[in-house]
Structure 1
Amino acid sequence: MARIPVTRRISIDESEVSESFVRSSGAGGQNIQKVETAVQLRFDAANSPSLPDGVRERLLRMAGHRATLAGEVIIIAQRHRTQLRNREDALERLLDLIRAAAAPPPPERRPTKPTRASKERRLDGKARRSRTKNLRSGPTD
């Protein structure tokens, strides 16, 4: 079977992706009632040997409502009027999702302590504000 390149290091086998065709929803005239142009693409991410573990976990998390409890990612494409263009659209959307999951997550923020100078600046500002507010108050008896 042929392999579909996703990134430089990741490619998935064509046999891991299955397609079924359904009728598109919405308005479309006479043709919509008899032609199955919408594509339902299924990719079993949970059991895919092509995906590293980290990518698999991020993919299922990023897929959200498009992922089933069994770990399948389902993409429905019905933007276009032809079956061929919907197939291409569904596959491209799946590959984009896998590419986004393959990107390493950004490093987490390291907690740092404020410097001594920043603490002093903060306290000076508070003291200045306090003096300003005290000067605004009326005369005391």
Structure 2
Amino acid sequence: MPLTITDQIEIADWELSESFMRASGPGGQNVNKVSSAVELRFEAERSPHLPAHVKTRLRKLAGRRWTKEGAIILQCDETRSQTRNRELIRERLVALIKQATERPKYRVKTKPTRGSVERRIKAKKVRSDVKKLRGRVE
């Protein structure tokens, strides 16, 4: 079953691979017997479903989780249930890719108004005068 990100982006099953390992944390005696932690590997660089601009933003957002081969590796061992960990890790991947699809806002540089510059300088002069009057009285 493909993983739906947006209307245009769907991730096929062959792009995702999961491996399971023993998790640290909650689980009692069961923690040493059951492999409940999930490691999800998404081949982002080879994915035909992701546009190039999304891949570049995704690479920045993923940070250390991005491998040299162009894959994203996510891990989850929050719960005792393997199925719940699988759901959580897939939700995280969807959230990460959705964040990469949003274009960052372009910042328009602005100059301070003439009035604001004059008010700032006037306030500095007033403060300077207050400090000058703090000296010893002679």
TM-score w.r.t. structure 1 length? 0.83
Alignment map for 1:38-57 (pairs within 5 Å): 38-57=37-56
Q: What is the rounded CA distance, in whole Å, between the counterparts of 1:67 and 1:128 in structure 2?
A: 54
Point out the structure with max Rg over C-alpha: 1
**Separation (CA, whole Å) in 2 of partners of 1:36 and 1:78:** 10
Alignment of 1:81-120 (within 5 A): 81-108=80-107, 110-120=108-118
CA drift of 1:136 comes to 4.4
Question: Cα deviations across residues 71-121 of structure 1 (Å, max 9, x unaligned)?
Answer: 21111121122221111111111111111111111222x222222222222
Give aligned pairs, total: 138
Alignment partners' CA distance in 1, 2:65 and 2:57: 13
Match of 1:17 in 2: 16
Measured in 1, the distance between the counterparts of 2:134 and 2:29 equals 77
Matched, 1:33 2:53: no
**Deviations 1:58-83, CA, capped at 9 Å, x for gaps:** 11211122221222111112112222
Look up the SS of the partner of 1:84 in the other structure: helix
Q: Structure 1 stretches of 5 or more lacking a match?
A: none
Identity %: 46
Post-superposition shift, 1:33? 2.1
Cα deviation, residue 50, structure 1: 1.0
Secondary structure at 2:28 match in 1: coil
Q: Normalising to structure 2: TM-score of the pair?
A: 0.84
